[in-house]
Amino acid sequence: MRCRIFSSGGRPALLIALCLSSGSLSAAAMPAPVQQTIGRIVSKHVLIRIPQEREWLGQDAISELETCYVYMDKTTGGSLPARVLVNLSWDEPVSEVNPAEATITIGMNNPAAAANSRRYLLHRAATEMARLGLLKLSKGAAERADSRFLLEGMVEILACEYEHSSRSLDAAWVRCHFMDRMEALSLSALASWERFSGGRMDQRAASPGITFLLTCREASNRDRLLKLFEGMGSKTLADSLAAAFKSSAAALESMWLQKVRGYPVTGDSAGSPDEDAPKLERTELDPEAGAPGQTLRIRLTIRDRSSDLSPDTVFFEDVGSGLVLNAQVQPEAVRRDAYFRLLVPQDGKPGRHEYRVIAVDESGNVRIWQGIYPVNSK
């Protein structure tokens, strides 16, 4: 039983070319994997396997990983194995857990890891220890297709609470607000996990689970969340929800979507230091003014110092019409530019039309930029 974590591209929208000018979205910019002998660093409950040439990172992190183990073991009701092996691999861009072997593999061949290897390692270790504990607690049932969104959401909640960064969870509400406006949010959509996530395991994919569980916790209490996972081993998801929260899945879904739709997206918020947040450097329109029935292209250059901004968590909102789009990745482009394409309606009124661009990165930073696109008469 394995869970793999990775990021991929986005979905079609308005042709805004999004250039992440510091920190490519592609792992191609990463240094070549280091083929070295493996060292071991040990604490009471954690064993790190790491290339000897990078032992400094393991030595620096081992105390924190031990503290994280103790927290996650207590939080998941003593579900973690007595010893967890943490493999650090610079050959792999993905992370995985193997409950049967009490093993976590953290893929360090990732742009975000290159930007800040220690922070990336500690966050990934926290999420994967939480995942390992929840899989043990649920007897593996949390990995079922219909329950998977809850597993991913709870993993992020526990990791952020451990890191005292729960404020970054606010970004999940922003993502879900716009996903819902694009009609991409419902329990039925989330039941087909691979289709919904596209095989990705980033915070965009985790956001519905985060917001759903926070809604349920607000309506009951914190202990009910662990009861939910504990009951999954012997019940269907609907029965597990009913037993944990004394309410039907349909009623919980209605309450959740109501909160998502009412969430105010009005300003910037910070999940990490300001210097790591996305920054807009340039905007270009092609043509400079659109016309009814014509495709308007907008190009943005965004600096992403922390290399953790995905194109499909950059949203375009046409303020007048309420239309919401997000970016399409062009994988053949050297810089992995992302594009949006906006078709000006045939009945579009000439004049200046306001839009907003909302960027949400993996650290929980939300940045909102306003702009104008002109529309000429035919």
- Give which of 214, 294, 371, 275 is closest to 22, Cα–Cα: 275
- Give which of 236, 237, 214 is closest to 225, Cα–Cα: 214
List residues bridging with 107 in a β-sheet: 89
CA end-to-end span of the chain = 59
For residue 55, the one-letter residue type is E
Torsions phi, psi for 35 (to 5 deg): -95, 95
User: What is the rounded distance in angstroms from the CA atom of residue 228 to the CA atom of residue 24?
Assistant: 39
State residue 199's pLDDT score.
81
Q: Determine how many CB atoms are found less than 10 A away from the CB of residue 378.
A: 9
Q: Determine how many CB atoms are found less than 10 A away from the CB of residue 254.
A: 12
The residue ranges of DSSP E strands in 130-211, in sequence order, are none
What is the pTM (predicted TM-score) of this model? 0.85
The dihedral region occupied by 359, where left means phi > 0, alpha psi between -120 and 50, and beta the remainder, is beta
- Going from the first residue of the chain to its last (378 residues), give the mean pLDDT of each consecutive group of 10, the final group possibly shorter: 40 45 41 55 95 92 97 95 96 92 94 88 96 96 95 95 88 95 92 88 91 94 88 92 94 97 92 83 84 86 83 90 81 55 87 93 92 87
User: H or E stretch including 256?
Assistant: helix 249-261
The domains located in the chain, with CATH, are: 274-375 (2.60.40.10)
Torsions phi, psi for 101 (to 5 deg): -105, 5
Residue corresponding to tokens 């998801």:
237
Residue corresponding to tokens 């219909």:
146
Q: Using CA of residue 23, residue 26, residue 29, residue 32, what is the dihedral sign?
A: positive
